[in-house]
Amino acid sequence: MERKFNTRAVHGGEYTDRAIGNVTTPIYETSTFLNPNPYPDAALDHTRNKPFMYTRWGNPTLEVLEIKYRELDDVQEALSFSSGMAAITSTVLSLVKSGDRLLSLKELYGETFTFFTKFLPMYGIKVDFVSLDELNSGTIPVKGYSGIYTESIVNPTLGISDLITIGRVAKEENIPMITDATFASPYNQNPSSLNASITIHSGTKYIGGHSDILLGLAGFKKDLMDQIWSKRKMFGSVPDPIQAFLAIRGLKTLGVRMRAHNENGHQIAKFLSEHKKIDKVHYAGLETSKYYEIGKRNLKGFGGMVSFEINGGVEEARRMAKKLKLFAYAPSLGGVESLLTLPAETSHLSLTKKERQEAGIAEGLVRMSIGIEDADDLIEDLKNALE
């Protein structure tokens, strides 16, 4: 019988040095390794099937993280990176060359959008953007593209990519689908099972889970290992073993935390949707959301990200944010503690006002990352701040 998610999360990939008998994986804080390794039973680095040589190439603590993640996200191979952006830039640059074109979404994480609009074109790579609804329709012509890049839950308006449809089209045309599934986490979705060739996570978020690390992960088909690994080695976009250790620890409780995030996210979204001061709630888990059915088909849970627009706009949003006691007024997401931010001031600050408008981001949009606190306490805090 295949082991279930939480069992794999706790035990997957863990490494016991028989000479020591350690129960948890150690932090191998070493930049270099004996080369050649004279021991006949030297462990092999999964990136090359040779003994470890240099930490920018591979490291045992990173390897345990990569194997644990691989088992949880149902991908054939995986590599860890120094941040989510390092995972995105390193994997995309391993797929495209000058003259290539990518198809992507108007609604993207701000820094990814900047990478696509300001950086790639300087090297002769063009990115075409369509709206989430257009991509979900499955009718956009995709022939000639070197890749289709999506986010499984888009940031910060929280629409859902219909990966079942997009993945089918990508497969039919033999085009790799690359999916940033940070907001879903491997607990709520495994994009590889919906035909994603590459799945990306900012491990800084739900995977780390405690707002104390920066980390990225990419899971992909076996035949992509050499080309992605060689970029990680060249760019040096490899994480420190301590960050990898903390991500291993985070992954062990991912399932337990995600259940709480899913449940709290739903309760908070429902409370806000019934509050007279709130104009609009973005949360696909509400049956009234136009993404509800798509989400049901593509996700196991809707997660803990909730966005809303408040009556009174930016000024009222700032006033309310400052009155909250349990929500820290800070960007980022996916930690055990609840956070709140105005994307126009943080994650999407690098976009022009017009670009934000095109991505459906109202200037006063508030994005919340609902933590694992008790929902009643969070609701009470919101109620008081909205008074």
Ligand X SMILES: Cc1ncc(COP(=O)(O)O)c(C=O)c1O
How many chain residues touch ligand X (CB under 6 A)?
14
For residues 328 and 386, which CB has a smaller minimum distance to ligand X in the complex?
328
Q: Measuring CA to CA, how many Å separate 183 from each of 41, 70, 249?
A: 40, 18, 19
Q: Do the Cβ atoms of 230 and 212 come closer than 8 Å? A: no
Rule CB under 6 A: say whether 189 interacts with ligand X.
no
Q: Does 63 contact ligand X by CB under 6 A?
A: no
Q: Which of the residues 209 through 228 are near ligand X (CB under 6 A)?
A: 214, 216
Q: Which stretch binds ligand X (CB under 6 A): 167-175, 176-184, 285-293, 319-327?
A: 176-184
Pairwise CA distance, residues 107 & 276, whole Å: 28
Sheet arrangement for strand 77-81: 77-81, 216-220, 198-202, 177-180, 147-151, 101-105, 126-130
Give the span between the Cα atoms of 380 and 378, in whole angstroms.
5
**Contact with ligand X (CB under 6 A) among 109, 116, 187, 245:** 109
The rounded distance, in Å, linking the Cα atoms of 40 and 285 is 54
155 lies in the binding site for ligand X (CB under 6 A): yes
Distance, CA of 342 to chain centre: 19
Q: Enumerate residues 6+ apart whose C-beta is below 8 A from 129.
A: 104, 105, 106, 116
**Interactions with ligand X, residue window 326-355 (CB under 6 A):** 347
Taking CB under 6 A as the criterion, the residue among 71, 73, 151, 309 binding ligand X is: 151
Q: Applying CB under 6 A, which of residues 179, 202, 264, 298 lies at the interface with ligand X?
A: 202
Least distance from ligand X to the Cβ atom of residue 192, Å:
18
DSSP letter assigned to residue 102: E
Among 47, 90, 182, 188, binds ligand X (CB under 6 A): 182
Assess 204 for contact with ligand X (CB under 6 A).
yes
Position 306 contacts ligand X (CB under 6 A): no
DSSP annotation string for 271-316: HHHT-TTEEEEE-TTSTTSTTHHHHHHH-S---SEEEEEETTHHHH
User: What token pair was written down for 367?
Assistant: 């994005």
Minimum distance between the CB of residue 85 and ligand X, rounded to whole angstroms? Answer: 4
CB of 3 to ligand X, least distance (A): 28
Which of 13, 60, 84, 285 touches ligand X by CB under 6 A? 84
Positions touching ligand X (CB under 6 A) are 83-85, 109, 151, 155, 180, 182-183, 202, 204, 214, 216, 347
